Structure 1
């Protein structure tokens, strides 16, 4: 199917009053430049007060550039005229909002942002940077923009159960503690460190986003005495459930302590550490066969 020049707006997701004026493929730089113009008679909304049907006051000629989704395997850049309205309601003369980008100076289109957000779910940012050919500092700004917005509008009013665990954020002993809504599988809060005071930070975050301490009926955590105390202090109406993985870990540790203590009296226990950690159904015939008469 042939693509008519008039269909390029649909191809690049461009809406009126902008239209594609020219497309130039730069063979040496291996990129596609798309140039947009504005219909001069168009009436636009004032970016200051929102009043519609305002005439164009002037136009900045191709003073903005945005990285768009790749066209085939080539990077695509949109260059557009940027009109300014002369609002009859508020009297302001300002550049209009660009429909294909979050901010006029962001440097990326919304579709490029969406592509990056999709990639970073499964890839580290430095790998995404190499793939798309953009500096990772610019890509981190995209991620922070959407994550910060999502956190700002987060609704925690329905949270009744909280799971928590700590993990290492970097090599060494830099820990973070993560609190999760176990029913909706959403992260409630991420706190630096792994001390008991992270529960206070969780409570403050919950209440700042519509949650109520009284609504929390259950918390799940490891068996740290300090964690238990702080959870009881800040969520007094919640029952405490110990994380099954920590329970299993403690049980396995206890079994191994007993095995080590009895190994000196029973030679058959030597080299059996990992046998005791297996489920019974996974034991081989050799492991199941009793060796003590």
Structure 2
């Protein structure tokens, strides 16, 4: 290819002297384009100590995956100089301007990959980028470690601890959030008491003080409660709304099932019907928010509220609990 094309790609890649594109090779069969980059100088600043105009000792061959050009896989290749420094005595490879040290991807490719991983599973992002997912995971781990090294947890006072399923089955992770600043503080595998102890250690590593944590909102896990007692000694525990309301709904269902088993005739009489469909509408009406009731559920709940059934009392208690949370949230 002519010099004009090489100069064009030198500009497109954002290269500045002494870095230039020396050659461009296009393989339409393999749908691949390769850029040969040269560093045309015999002296560079020492990467270790910064001493100027030190001699180039030798050059090492390196390659990087770059953003696609015209739907073709793009690769950059360069014989990267190593500088023999007379000032510090070290022989060090210079940093290239298009990639961080040790990476096989250019900075632009890494930026695209990480952007995709924000919204897609890593495996799916890797398929779109035509690379192995392990390579993406290494980049994620690198940048997460960099970001976490800058975190300051000195002001953490109120945290939320919860578990979530990592995959289908019994594989869980524990996550800890700063409820004041709405940010993720910590995540680790498992849901045992040790996960809270590990969080406390990580909190200290980032400038926080476990003794300054005043409030923990969590589910009713005995393991988490044990961990809080051990690692966050000054924290007061409250149970999160989701788990408390879920327990109330489960208790209400137990009352309804028991009443149907022992006094089904009274339930049917209260509803004015023995039809299974109506009884099923009662089940869903008791569970759902009144604003989402269907016409049949509205009818079933109308008669339930006018009865003296235990199920009616259980439903009223559940709704009273929801009202407590609604008023607390409003204030």
TM-score range, shorter chain: 0.7 to 0.9
Query: How far does the alpha carbon of each residue in 1:172-204 deviate from its partner, in whole angstroms, 9 at most, with x for none?
Result: 222221112223333222232212232111111
RMSD: 2.3
Per-residue deviation, residues 103-154 of structure 1 (Å, max 9, x unmatched): 24x2111111111111111112222222111122222222222223333443
Q: Equivalences for 1:140-289 in 2 at 5 Å?
A: 140-264=137-261, 265=263, 266-267=267-268, 268=271, 270-271=279-280, 272-289=282-299
The 5 A counterparts of 1:40-79 are 40=41, 43-49=43-49, 51-60=50-59, 63-79=61-77
SS of structure 1 residue aligned to 2:202: helix
Does the CA contact (< 8 Å) of 2:6 and 2:23 recur in 1? no
- Cα distance in 1 for partners of 2:117, 2:227 equals 35
Task: Report if the CA contact (8 A) 2:57-2:91 is conserved.
Answer: no
Match of 2:287, SS state, is coil
1:54–1:88: 8 Å Cα contact kept in structure 2? no
**Contact 2:191/2:223 (8 A) holds in 1:** no
DSSP-derived class of the 1:274 partner: helix
Change (3 A) 1:10 1:157: farther
- Residue 326 (structure 2) aligns with: none
The Cα shift of 1:27 comes to 1.3
Per the normalisation by structure 2, the TM-score is: 0.79
d(CA) in 2 for partners of 1:59, 1:40: 12
Report whether the alignment pairs 1:90 with 2:88: yes
Query: Are 1:40 and 1:56, in contact at CA under 8 Å, matched by a contact in 2?
Result: no
Distance 1:135 1:205 in 2: 31
Deviation at 1:7, TM superposition (A): 4.4
What's the TM-score, normalizing by structure 1? 0.88
Distance 1:30 1:148 in 2: 35
Stretches of structure 1 that go unaligned for 5 or more consecutive residues are none
Aligned equivalents of 1:251, 1:10: Cα separation in 2: 66
Q: Report what 2:18 is aligned to.
A: 17
Q: Give the deviation of 1:34 after TM superposition.
A: 1.1
Q: Which runs of 5+ in 2 are unaligned?
A: 272-277, 307-331
- CA distance in structure 1 between the aligned counterparts of 2:32 and 2:179, rounded to whole angstroms: 46
DSSP 3-state at the match of 1:68 = strand
Higher radius of gyration, 1 or 2: 2
Cα distance per residue 1:72-128 (max 9 Å; x no partner): 211111112311223231122322122221224x21111111111111111122222
Q: CA deviation at 1:226?
A: 4.1
Could you say if the C-alpha distance between residues 68 and 283 of structure 1 is closer, same or farther in structure 2, counting changes exceeding 3 Å? same
Q: Name the SS for the 1:117 alignment partner.
A: helix
Q: 1:141 to 1:224 in 2, by over 3 A?
A: closer
Counterpart-to-counterpart distance in 2, 1:245 and 1:48: 55
Please say if residues 57 and 93 of structure 1, whose CA atoms lie closer than 8 Å, have aligned partners that are also in contact: no
- Report if aligned partners of 2:44, 2:56 keep a CA contact under 8 Å in 1: no
**How far 1:29 moved relative to its partner?**
1.2
Aligned length: 287
Q: Is the 8 A contact 1:58 1:84 kept in 2?
A: yes
Deviation at 1:249, TM superposition (A): 0.6
**Structure 1 partner of 2:28:** 27
* CA apart distance, 1:237: 2.6
